[in-house]
Every structure is written in C-alpha cells, then in structure tokens.
C-alpha cells in the first residue's frame, strides 16, 4: 500500500475517533444544595425530613406516593387486608440490592423489626418506632409474601409504610450497623459512592434498578449519572451557589429571597403546598380565652391574608382549619374567618372586655415577625399583646402544662392522614393539645376514626371533627408554608411534592 494512502487512512481513522468522542454525551451530574448536614445514612436512625428526602434516592419502600400524593405500590406489588389486625403484602420479584443481593420477604421482616424492636441497631432503638407503633409482628409466608400484624385495627398501615425504607438483612448482619450507617445499600435508583461528612454525599445511577412503581412512570433506571447532595446551611450561600451554577437545586428557599432567584435568567423558583400547619393557640382552661366570644374576636382581628402577602411573599396557603388542603378528609366547606376588626371589637365587648386586656404572645425566634404582626392587629381591638420570644425547649413544657395563654406553634403531618395532627393536638390530653381543649364529641369521633377500617366513614368523621373545631375555635388557623426550591433552568422533569421528598429518579439536565 502506498505510504500516502496509508497515511490518509490513519488520518481518517483519527478524525472519525475524534468525531465520535465529541458526540459522546456529557455526564449527567446534578448537585443539590441542602440546608443542613446529614447525621446518618441509616434510614432507621433519624426523624429528620431532610435526611429522609435525601435517602429516598437510595432506598425504596413497600409503598410510595405519586406526584399527586396518591398511594402506589413500590417494592410491594399489592396489598390486602386479611382481617382488622392483619395485612398481606405481595412483593415485587427480580429486585436486587445495590450489592447484588436479592430482595426477599426476609429483608422486609428485618427492616420493620429493626424499627419496632428495642435495641436492634447496634444496641440502640430506632427513633422511628412511633411511626409504626401498632405493628406487632411480621410473618414471612414465602420469599415474596409477608403478613404484617398490628396490635389494634390500624387503617393507615399502608400510609405509614411510606416512611419505612427496606434495607438488606444479609449485608447489615455481615458488616454491622455502624458500617451500614456510613456505607448504605438499598434498592433505590441511586447507589452510594462517597460520604464526606459535612461536605458532600455522592451517589451514582444504579444500572440494575428494577425501575420503580409502574403507577409512577416512567419506569426504568435514573437518567442522571451522578447525584450529589451538598450541605450549605446558610440561605444566602445556597442562593449564591445556585446562581453560580455550583448547585442545580437548592431547598428551603426563604420567601423573602424568592425575588433573587426569579430575577436571574438562569434560575427559577418551584414551589408546592406543604404539610405543616401554623396555628395561633389560645388557652381554653382560663380567662380570657375560656370565652368563645374572645376567641372569635381574636380570629376576626388577625389579618392572615396580609401576613401571607407581606411577610411570606405569598408563599403560603391560608388555612380554614388545622388540616392542609391536600390531607385526606379535608373539609373544603369551611372558609377562613374573615378579617373584620369592627366585629372583633364588638365580640370582645360582648364578652365583657370593652377596654380590652393585656396578654403575652409567646413564640420562638423563627416566628417572631409573625407574632409581631399579630400583636399589631390585636392592638387595633385593644388586646395589648406583648411578644415574648422563647427557646422552644423552654416554652414547650409550659404549653404542655397550660401555663401560657396565647401562643404560636406549628404541627407537621407528612402522613397526610388527619390522625397525625387531630389526635395529638385536639383530643383531650393530647401531647400537643397546648390549649387544654376538650370536646367529648371530638374525642368520640377521633376514637372511631383512629381504628375504623372503612375509609369513607373515616373521611366523614374527620370532616365533622373539623367542623366542631371550627366552631369551638381553640386555635386560629393561620397558614401552611409552601415548599420552596431554587432551580437552575437546565433541570428538567423534576417537581417538588408536599412531602418534601427530593426524588431525582426522573430528573435530568438539558442545555436547552
């Protein structure tokens, strides 16, 4: 072969190689800026929402939620109620853990017992036990079927299993709990690569992923190659990292900083309804708030809409009761008490307080600005409220003993089942019933709803409870903050959900 022709052939081959290399897609590497450091990577050893939202990318559960918060099967293919105390779950076949071990019913039994039994995790007990406290036993029927037994009728078992990630029994028994907490193995769309505490958690796409729930398409491996979670506690620093392109998504964006993201051509704001209710509580056990008319006066005196628009920049949903609108059994017939200072002043006079009264309005530092706005509104009807800021750990015991009169507090309910807020906050003697509120009819209906297995009857009970609370007014329902994220415009196919879980299974990056 002539040397010239041979040289041309070599050159052509090199050009073809360079061309093919140039066409290779750039790695899909997405960085999420989170607002706190991660204390553990063991899904059974925390009660932290951010930790859960991060770990969900490595771990799947028997049951999950779709983008509309409907329950869908995940590692379970289906479930049925055998009797009031027993549920049967059929498990998905062909699922592998990240280390190659097969997923079986024994892993389900181990994962649940690790949460409900004392001293199961390196001699320690799981702080998540309260999430599934009624579960008494898990029985393996075969490799792909389990029975879950409860100590009492518990209609929300499938709901609460969305909080229990499945872990590999064999791997943990071989490596130990402490090792697992720093080198986790799950069945989720991303596998663990590296954890530098306080700096970054690195995951890679798990090519052997079974695909996820068919009811939550698309089914298949994740689109991202690499997923990194980076703790950046300061809000301003998270925003700077987003605008500089060092992060693609940041969580917990403060409402007053939203405009900084919206004004940048490379970034945008995504938000959705949240699951936490903010309430103004009144001590119903003593004067002046043992008077319904006084409580009604306060409700009409607070301009909640102005608080939402001015302080929260519109990033909250006005509440008419303790439940958020996306909750099961939400009573949409109840409308918020209207802002009417004249009516409030008249009600106060009818209650015997024509000259008003003095009171302390208790809060923690996070809600100081909200408390000051409420105090300003109350002053217009001659309720002279002095804002007092506490450490929550100091204030809470006083609230539990009903020693405070007027106070701001919030309650989260990620399960979206009303028992998560109505029973602790409004049932007589509830651990969060800081108001000392007691209504026998409310207690009766909540008792029926807690153990009733007929979901439509439960819905009816909850709607009636909300109406009773609406009439009794132990709290002024204020608002539910939205979940707010800053996002680079290159991020596609990702939207936030009310439960705050940052599921990156479907997300990808585009230069468009």
Which of 146, 129, 151 has the alpha carbon at shortest distance from 80? Answer: 146
Alpha carbon distance, N-terminus to C-terminus of the chain? 48
| Distance from C-alpha of 230 to C-alpha of 36, rounded to nearest angstrom | 9
Residue 229 confidence (pLDDT): 99
What is the tens place of the pLDDT at every residue in 142-165? 999 999 999 999 999 999 999 999
Rounded CA separation 302/339 (Å): 6
CATH 3.10.105.10 spans which residues of the chain?
A: 276-481
Sign of the four-CA dihedral 119, 120, 126, 131: negative
**pLDDT, tens digit (0-9, with 9 covering 90-100), for 206-265:** 999 999 999 888 899 999 999 999 999 999 999 999 999 999 999 999 999 999 999 999
Query: Angle of helix 419-426 relative to helix 440-451, nearest 10 degrees?
Result: 150
Strands (E), 339-482: 357-364, 383-390, 406-412, 475-481
Q: What Rg do the C-alpha atoms of the chain give, in angstroms?
A: 27
Taking a C-beta distance cutoff of 8 angstroms, is the pair 190, 205 a contact?
yes
Closest to 259 in 3D by CA, of 316, 306, 315: 315
Please provide the CATH number assigned to the domain covering 30-272+484-509: 3.40.190.10
CB 501 within 8 A of CB 276: no
pLDDT value of residue 6: 45
Give the pLDDT confidence score for residue 512 in this predicted structure.
56
Q: What is the 8-class DSSP label of residue 161?
A: G
Question: Any long-range contacts for 133-142 (C-beta under 8 Å, 24+ apart)?
Answer: 138/108, 138/109, 138/112, 138/113, 139/109, 140/105, 140/106, 140/108, 140/109, 141/88, 141/105, 142/105
pLDDT computed for residue 217 by the predictor: 84
Question: What phi and psi, each to the nearest 5 degrees, are found at residue 266?
Answer: -95, -5
What's CA 273's distance to the chain center, in Å? 11
Pick out the chain residues at pLDDT < 50.
1-24
The Cβ of residue 133 has, within 10 Å, a number of other Cβ atoms equal to: 15
Locate all alpha helices (DSSP H) within 316-439, ordered by sequence.
341-350, 368-379, 392-400, 419-426
State whether residue 36 is helix, strand or coil: coil
Alpha-carbon distance 253 to 267, whole Å? 13
Range(s) of the chain covered by CATH 3.40.190.10: 30-272+484-509
**276-481 classified as CATH 3.10.105.10:** yes
Residue 164 to residue 228: CA distance in whole angstroms: 23
Helix (H, G, I), strand (E, B) or coil at 65: strand
Using N-to-C axis directions, what is the helix angle for 292-301 and 341-350, rounded to 10°? Answer: 160
Give pLDDT, residue 2: 47
Q: How far apart are CA 231 and CA 250, in angstroms?
A: 10
- CA torsion through residues 106, 107, 110, 116, sign: negative
Q: Show Cβ contacts of residue 228 under 8 Å, excluding neighbours closer than 6 positions.
A: 29, 30, 31, 32, 200, 201, 202, 203
Phi, psi (deg, nearest 5) at residue 476: -95, 110
With CA atoms as reference, report the closest residue to 97 among 183, 175, 166. 166
In eight-state DSSP terms, residue 218 is: P
Coil, strand or helix at 91: strand
């Amino acid at each position: 072969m002539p040397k010239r022709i041979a040289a041309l052939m070599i050159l052509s081959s090199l050009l073809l190689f360079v061309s093919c290399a140039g066409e290779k897609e750039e790695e899909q590497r997405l960085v999420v800026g989170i607002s706190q450091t991660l204390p553990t990577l063991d899904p059974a050893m925390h009660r932290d929402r951010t930790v859960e939202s991060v770990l969900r990318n490595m771990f799947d559960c028997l049951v999950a939620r779709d983008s509309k918060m409907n329950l869908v099967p995940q590692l379970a293919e289906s479930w049925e109620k055998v009797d009031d105390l027993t549920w049967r779950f059929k498990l998905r076949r062909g699922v592998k853990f990240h280390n190659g071990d097969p997923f079986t019913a024994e892993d389900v039994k181990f994962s649940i017992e690790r949460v409900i039994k004392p001293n199961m995790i390196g001699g320690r007990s799981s702080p998540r036990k309260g999430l599934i406290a009624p579960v008494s036993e898990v029985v393996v029927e075969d490799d792909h079927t389990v029975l879950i037994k409860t100590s009492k009728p518990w209609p929300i078992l499938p709901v609460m299993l969305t909080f229990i990630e499945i872990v590999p029994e064999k791997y943990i028994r071989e490596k130990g709990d402490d090792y697992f907490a720093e080198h986790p193995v799950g069945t989720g769309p991303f596998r663990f690569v590296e954890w530098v505490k306080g700096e970054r958690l690195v995951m890679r796409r798990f090519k052997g992923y079974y695909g996820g729930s068919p009811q939550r398409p698309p089914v298949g491996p994740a689109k991202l190659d690499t997923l990194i979670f980076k703790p950046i506690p300061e809000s301003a620093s998270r925003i700077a990292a987003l605008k500089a392109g060092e992060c693609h998504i940041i969580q917990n964006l403060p409402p007053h900083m939203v405009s900084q993201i919206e004004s940048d051509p490379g970034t945008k704001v995504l938000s959705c309804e949240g699951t936490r209710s903010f309430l103004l509580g009144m001590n119903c056990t003593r004067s002046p708030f043992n008077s319904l008319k006084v409580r009604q006066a306060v409700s009409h005196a607070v301009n909640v809409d102005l608080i939402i628009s001015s302080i929260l920049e519109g990033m909250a949903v006005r509440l008419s009761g303790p439940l958020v609108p996306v909750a099961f059994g939400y009573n949409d017939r109840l409308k918020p008490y209207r802002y009417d200072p004249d009516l409030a002043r008249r009600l106060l006079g009818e209650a015997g307080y024509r000259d008003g009264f003095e009171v302390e309005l208790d809060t923690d530092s996070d809600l100081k600005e909200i408390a000051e706005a409420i105090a300003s509104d109350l002053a217009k009807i001659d309720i002279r409220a002095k804002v007092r800021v506490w450490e929550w750990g100091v204030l809470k015991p006083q609230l539990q003993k009903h020693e405070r009169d007027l106070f701001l507090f919030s309650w989260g309910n990620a399960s979206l089942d009303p028992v998560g807020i109505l029973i602790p906050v409004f049932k007589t003697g509830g651990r969060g019933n800081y108001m000392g509120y007691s209504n026998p009819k409310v207690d009766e209906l909540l008792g029926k709803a807690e153990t009733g297995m007929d979901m439509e009857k439960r819905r009816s009970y909850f709607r009636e409870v909300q109406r009773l609370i609406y009439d009794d007014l132990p709290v002024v329902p204020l608002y539910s903050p939205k979940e707010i994220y800053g996002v680079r415009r290159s991020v596609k196919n990702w939207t936030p959900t009310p439960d705050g879980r940052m599921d990156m299974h479907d997300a990808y990056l585009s230069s468009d």
